[in-house]
């Protein structure tokens, strides 16, 4: 039997049942295989690739074309996680592409087209973009075109050039009201999911109430927004100890950075000592020639 996929409907049912779901960023097929085997429900191919993959200082420098390719790689890695060794209850996570800076802000037609590319070229199940209520008409067009949108509200890293760096949001009454207004506009535009970043828990609680109003269930993913959201997401590099200074809301669960550094240092020493090991390959015997 084929391995089941986690879908938007799966995530909604989990939210309705009060069952939290886990999400992590992912940028390559190899990591996607391991996170799929770990049971992570949602893999977000985030524009944080600008920093973690491409070496930029800001997420708003993330290029669109490579991000599409990374998203497709994550999908292929997740799909291949159980090849040859199917596991009971194995499920392929929902893959979400992240629309980078200026891939949707300039022209509505380009925004809808680029969102669709994440589904066709990027093989994604859903698309995330950072929004305020002014983008509701564009988001509504995306949804009408058939693109499931996760609306990112609260702190929006793509605005770091305006704010002077990454910052929390919703800490004043005016900011909190605006975040709720942004979320309401996105729900009204048809977004099946929301993501809220770096806000006080009081704002998260109000947003959760909004996401359940009128008998609906719009799953809410949180990052630095307290433990009460339906799902939680972190940047994988922060979680596994590959970031020198992770955000204050992250508790690293591994120390892969020092482990990689140590392995690299050992390899340098092994090579310097010419101790890399003998070749495991032997010459093949010459082919026998028959006499005429």
Please indicate, yes or no, whether the overall pTM of this predicted structure exceeds 0.85. yes
- The domains of the chain are located at 4-239, 240-275
pLDDT at 287: 77
Q: Is 222 helix (H, G, I), strand (E, B) or coil?
A: strand
Q: Which of 17, 18, 16, 11 is nearest to 228 (CA)?
A: 18
Angle at which helix 173-188 crosses helix 136-145, to 10 degrees, equals: 30
* pLDDT reading at 291 higher than 70: no
- Write the DSSP symbol of residue 24: E
pLDDT in tens, 34-74: 999 999 999 999 999 999 999 999 999 999 999 999 999 99
The CATH class of the 4-239 domain is alpha beta
Give the residue ranges of DSSP H helices in 25-172: 29-38, 49-52, 64-79, 108-120, 136-145, 160-163
In DSSP terms, 149 is beta-bridged to: 127
- Residue predicted with more confidence, 287 or 74: 74
Catalytic (active-site) positions? 197
pLDDT in tens, 74-85: 999 999 999 877
Q: Which of 133, 73, 132, 77 is nearest to 97 (CA)?
A: 73
pLDDT in tens, 246-270: 999 999 999 999 999 999 999 999 9
pLDDT in tens, 108-133: 999 999 999 999 999 999 999 999 99
pLDDT at 89: 74
């Amino acid at each position: 039997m084929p391995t089941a996929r986690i879908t938007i409907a799966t995530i909604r049912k989990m939210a309705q049942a009060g069952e939290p779901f886990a999400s992590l960023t992912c940028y390559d097929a190899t990591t996607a295989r391991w996170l799929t085997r770990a049971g992570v429900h949602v893999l977000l191919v985030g524009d944080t690739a600008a920093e973690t993959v491409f070496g930029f200082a800001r997420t708003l420098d993330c290029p669109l074309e490579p991000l599409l390719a990374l998203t497709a790689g994550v999908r292929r890695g997740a799909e291949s996680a159980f090849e040859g060794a199917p596991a009971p209850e194995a499920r392929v996570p929902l893959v979400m592409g992240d629309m980078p800076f200026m891939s949707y802000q300039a022209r509505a037609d380009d925004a809808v087209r680029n969102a669709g590319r994440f589904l066709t070229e990027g093989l994604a199940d859903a698309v995330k973009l950072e929004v305020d209520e002014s983008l509701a008409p564009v988001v509504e067009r995306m949804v009408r075109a058939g693109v499931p949108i996760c609306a990112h509200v609260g702190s929006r890293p793509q605005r770091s050039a305006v704010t002077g760096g990454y910052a929390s949001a919703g800490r004043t009454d005016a900011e909190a009201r605006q975040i709720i207004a942004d979320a309401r506009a996105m729900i009204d535009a048809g977004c099946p999911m929301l993501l809220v970043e770096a806000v006080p828990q009081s704002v998260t609680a109000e947003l959760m109430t909004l996401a359940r109003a009128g008998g609906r269930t719009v799953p809410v993913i949180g990052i630095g927004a307290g433990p009460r959201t339906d799902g939680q997401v972190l940047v994988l590099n922060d979680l596994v100890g590959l970031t020198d200074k992770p955000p204050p809301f992250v508790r690293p669960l591994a120390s892969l950075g020092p482990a990689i550094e140590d392995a690299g240092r050992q390899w340098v020493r092994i090579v310097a000592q010419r101790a890399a090991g003998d070749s495991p390959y032997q010459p093949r015997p010459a082919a026998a020639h028959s006499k005429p």
